[in-house]
Amino acid sequence: MAGKYNICLDIGGTKVLGAIFDEEKKIIYRLKKKTKEGGDSKENIEELIISVVAEMIEESGIKKKDIHAISAGAPGVIDSADGIVLFSPNLPWRDYDIKTPIEKKFDVPFFIGNDVNVGVLGEYKYGIARGYHNVVGIFPGTGMGGGLILDDKLYTGHKFKGAELGHIVLEPEGPLCGCGQRGCLEALSSKQGMSAYIREQVARGRESMMADAVKDGVFKSKQLKKALAAKDPVTVEAVNRACHYLAIATGSMINIFSPDIVVYGGGVIEACGDIFLKKILKEVDRYCMPSIRSTVEIKCAELGDDSNIYGALAMIEDMEK
């Protein structure tokens, strides 16, 4: 290949995480900047991404001519073929061509995909799902992301809009979801869903050590872990409810896809994965056919915060085949 190094990015609503991979696929340099440093316009976010890449090149000591490609995962519906962010819930991008300015600036190919699709691809190529052929990824975070590997290929559906597993409707009369539907998995089992449940219980006069953490938004994963360790009753209820619906959704995914493995990832799982997995495993068998369930493994992701950047590396390899 032309260059020795690949630069991979995880673009989020609160941060841009970057890493440089060498020819042996080892990370030789990392950089993390808060998204808010770039302001709230699409141009400012673009400038922040460019500044992260430029700073990594300078600080790592590599030469610009030795870069092979740049790749990124970002939240939203993304046309990976043309590098256009059609919609992003946490970033000010609508039908936005991010590919052209990055390629113009650094004169190398740039690839971008949905963050959870990319994260699942990372686990498939370099993480817990190595060696499997059919993978379902469920990533509870602030929202609820999903990803599918079917017959060794990342499945993104018509016009890259598929695998929105977080918007399976489980309770038609349930809580309102940000997507406009009611009772989605995201509205029930994400940090948003759990935070809303805790706020509701506190408003009814119940006490919870998570009251302040959810007062103006969603809790941080480390706060959830602390409250669970203290066996805060309202927090335990919120998690039990979240895991109940995750088990139902997982059972449906097992019946539909008969995957080799279901992988749970994301910030919540990274902080409290053992607790969540234990509760999900206790229930999931009720919601899928035994003959299908018997050939499915259910595990937590192993790359943690790095699943997206490894997935971005895998995306470079896949796009160039």
Query: Do 21 and 144 have their domain in common?
Result: no
Query: Do 310 and 245 have their domain in common?
Result: no
CATH number, position 191: 3.30.420.40
pLDDT (0 to 100) of residue 45: 79
Decide: residue 192, CB within 10 A, 0-12 exposed, 13-18 middle, 19+ buried: buried
Query: Do 55 and 35 have their domain in common?
Result: yes
pLDDT (0 to 100) of residue 37: 46
Query: Do 154 and 111 have their domain in common?
Result: no
- Residue-wise pLDDT for 23-70, tens only, equals 999 999 999 988 664 455 666 778 889 999 999 999 999 998 999 999
Answer whether residue 65 is part of any domain: yes
pLDDT (0 to 100) of residue 90: 67
Answer whether residue 120 is part of any domain: no
Q: How far apart (Å, rounded) are the C-alpha atoms in residues 212 and 231?
A: 17
pLDDT (0 to 100) of residue 38: 44
Query: Do 290 and 311 have their domain in common?
Result: no
Of all residues in the chain, the percent with pLDDT exceeding 90 is 82
Q: Which two tokens stand for residue 59?
A: 């600080």
Low-confidence ranges of the chain (pLDDT < 50): 1, 37-38
Answer whether residue 123 is part of any domain: no
Query: Do 219 and 154 have their domain in common?
Result: yes
Query: Do 172 and 225 have their domain in common?
Result: yes
Answer whether residue 203 is part of any domain: yes
Q: How far apart (Å, rounded) are the C-alpha atoms in residues 238 and 9?
A: 33
| DSSP symbol at 64 | G
Q: How far apart (Å, rounded) are the C-alpha atoms in residues 309 and 306?
A: 5
pLDDT (0 to 100) of residue 39: 52
pLDDT (0 to 100) of residue 259: 98
- Residue-wise pLDDT for 246-268, tens only, equals 999 999 999 999 999 999 998 89
Answer whether residue 121 is part of any domain: no
| Torsion sign over Cα 271, 273, 274, 279 | positive
Q: How far apart (Å, rounded) are the C-alpha atoms in residues 195 and 230?
A: 17
Report the phi/psi class of residue 216: left, alpha or beta, with left for phi > 0 and alpha for psi in -120 to 50: alpha
Q: Are 288 and 254 in contact (CB under 8 A)?
A: yes
Tell me what the pLDDT averaged over the chain comes to. Answer: 93
Query: Do 16 and 159 have their domain in common?
Result: no
Query: Do 163 and 279 have their domain in common?
Result: yes
Query: Do 9 and 89 have their domain in common?
Result: yes
Answer whether residue 18 is part of any domain: yes
Answer whether residue 263 is part of any domain: yes
pLDDT (0 to 100) of residue 36: 60
Query: Do 83 and 175 have their domain in common?
Result: no
Query: Do 162 and 266 have their domain in common?
Result: yes
CA 309 to mean position of chain CA atoms: 11
Question: Which residues form the domain of 151?
Answer: 128-302
**What total number of domains does the chain contain?**
2
Answer whether residue 233 is part of any domain: yes
Q: Are 181 and 197 in contact (CB under 8 A)?
A: no
